[in-house]
Amino acid sequence: MVSALQVTGLRYAYERGPRAVDGVDLAVEAGELLVVLGPNGSGKSTLSYVLAGREGYEVTSGSVLYRGEDLLAMSIDERARAGVFLAFQYPVEIPGVQNGYFLRAILNARRAHLGLPELNPVEFMKRAKEALQMVKLDASMLKRSVNEGFSGGEKKRNEVMQMALLEPTLSVLDETDSGLDIDALRVVGQGVEALKGPARSALIITHFPRLLEHVTPHKVHVLSAGRVVHTGEASLARELEERGYEWLIGGER
């Protein structure tokens, strides 16, 4: 079976500073949810940027295969249409662009790529209301500009709603739990968990294991100095919560 994501010997650098990744190896199988943990500066968010195709990050060696295809050869929009989704740590505000119009446009672009007919406004609203209910957002959110004036929790719930509508085959969540209160964290976590399925894979990037109280991963990877230094089960996250990273990164157990 072809992996949803296969990262081999990936090395890359950021053109404006010292952010670098030094040989990442990991695989996300179809239907798997993997978590990448690590201290600040370990290269976690940088990894998400490279997978999404953000400008300014130069890949110097290694490969990334998405469902057997060369992900690095795809443009940003090609990755998105093919089913790669990035949930931002800091979702961008887009003043003047209504959230509902934005969501319908990206959903129909994804459907066109899959050879499916576009959804008309009525069909879209039916799906959107179901997704809104899942993340406990009011339908009025569709009439507001994308993320403008949204609270931190609303922005992250809006991201999960996008996931629900787009049904990506690979979701990369970059510190989606950052800045969430207890209630928002539960809603976001339950939403991510509800979207798991045999054709959907996810890579959750964070440095706090709090989200794992609501999400059950198949594996946990620990990233340090730009490479994976340890892989374990979900229980590893709980141990890191209690003991921190130093014991593991320093090789002491």
* SS3 of residue 70 by DSSP: strand
Q: Please state, for a pLDDT cut of 90, what percent of the chain lies above it.
A: 53
State the average pLDDT over residues 99-105. 96
pLDDT of residue 183: 87
For 161-210, what is each residue's pLDDT tens digit?
999 999 999 999 988 888 788 888 888 888 888 888 898 999 999 877 77
Dihedral sign computed on CA atoms, order 179, 216, 83, 223: positive
Cβ count within 10 A of residue 136: 15
- DSSP letter at 45 equals H
Per residue in 117-163, pLDDT (tens digit) is 999 999 999 999 999 999 999 999 999 999 999 998 899 999 999 99
Rounded Cα distance between 87 and 14, Å, is 20
pLDDT in tens, 2-45: 789 999 999 887 766 655 667 889 999 999 999 999 888 788 88
Among residues 72, 59, 62, 55, the alpha carbon closest in space to that of 16 is found at 55
pLDDT digits (tens, 9 = 90+) for 239-251: 888 888 888 876 5
pLDDT of residue 242: 84
Task: Give residue 18's pLDDT.
Answer: 58
| C-beta separation of 201 from 169 below 8 A | yes
- Domain harbouring 199, CATH code: 3.40.50.300
- The pLDDT of 50-67, averaged and rounded, is 90
Instruction: Give 253's pLDDT tier (boundaries 50, 70, 90).
Output: very low
**Computed from CA positions of residues 146, 147, 149, 151, in that sequence, does the dihedral angle turn out positive or negative?**
positive
What DSSP string runs through 110-154?
HHHHTTPPPPPHHHHHHHHHHHHHHTT--GGGGGSEETTT--HHH
Please state the domain count of the chain: 1
Q: Which of 90, 247, 99, 103 is nearest to 179 (CA)?
A: 90
Please count the CA atoms within 13 angstroms of the CA of 108 that sit on its side-chain side: 14
Burial of 108 (0-12, 13-18, 19+ CB in 10 A): middle
Where in the sequence is the domain holding 149, given as residue range(s)? Answer: 5-249
The reported pLDDT for the residue numbered 59 is 87
| Helix (H) or strand (E) segment spanning residue 86 | strand 84-87
Model pLDDT, residue 99: 96
pLDDT at 1: 65
Asked if residues 172 and 85 have their Cβ atoms less than 8 Å apart, the reply is: yes
